[in-house]
A and B are shown apart, each in its own frame.
Chain A
């Protein structure tokens, strides 16, 4: 089976500034794939390239065999949860989730309402459809953003720092939700994170970006990299929690 996402020799940057060069990796269907690395190495920027918000300096991104997503034409075959949630502040949570359904499906208003309520139940936000985003906590905003990303049943979701800034309980709950969505719906998940507990719990494969060499420092199973990587910086990254303890 061909990979769901194939990235070949991707070079990211702007003007004379190169952020990362010649990145090559692939994400399989049904995988939970993490993009890791220290601050400023380009994790979130790589996500923006993958979802078509930025144009590569060179290289190729192919999603589902269709090439780089063109956001100007039609709807992309994925959902995205941004770091801040990026819910539309002037719309209620229900309207946020129903927006794509109104735009891209011929469903009636009632049917859209039913789907919205089902999605909110899925992410544990029953009864929140009439609330404004400003009335939600950080964790609830992220859950609502996941529900919005899943509104059109995409086979792939991109999550930018899903558990960043959440309390440990909310972070664990969100990790479990992502894992459940992956296992039950067969959803392919690509996430950017630097939360070690999340990485070990949900990611099956990962790449680690390096700011110094502007390239992929390591690729593979996070637990395997933690225990067996020959690269000291990789071991140091994965073992930093253990050290602190």
Chain B
């Protein structure tokens, strides 16, 4: 699998070299990728689950004096234990809005709002866990330009969030008596999370080969999640994606 990832990296950067061109100020984009995820959600299992999860991201960004971005990201795939036991459907969807103001020629700082739905579903919920969270993050963005190569680094870190998670035993009477109303289960009984029980640093590196009109790019996203409600949730993810500006 590692060799496949290396090939994918190579292909992505080659495609950026062949097709990559100058950035526009505002544009829509679409991005396909694959994330290498390691998960331990204690509500779900005390074992570590792993998988390669395909992703699709669409969005709009505007880069003037200030930076605006809104995007929708969906991930869907299978994780399992030791590539062998308990194949589990992993579903994630999130909506992000980023805004940043200039702090220097190449740096901007601001905030991000993100709302996320994440579900683990084993065997039609004979076991499962969910995390819905809405959080405000610090957002930093910096551009590096060397000759025709552009690298844009982004860093986000949550300050405060609101999350709904399974309770102590996973399935309590609230879940049992509302099993015909899934959104109510997913979006009720929220708790506030902040720095001491919630950490999710995310680093994104976007590479563009600037030549003529900008169109294609590649991106590497690293994130780590630690969310400690009654049962802690740990997640580690490295996602490689390549996209096109429309």
To the question of whether A and B form a pair in one complex, the answer is no
A: which residues have CB within 8 A of B?
none
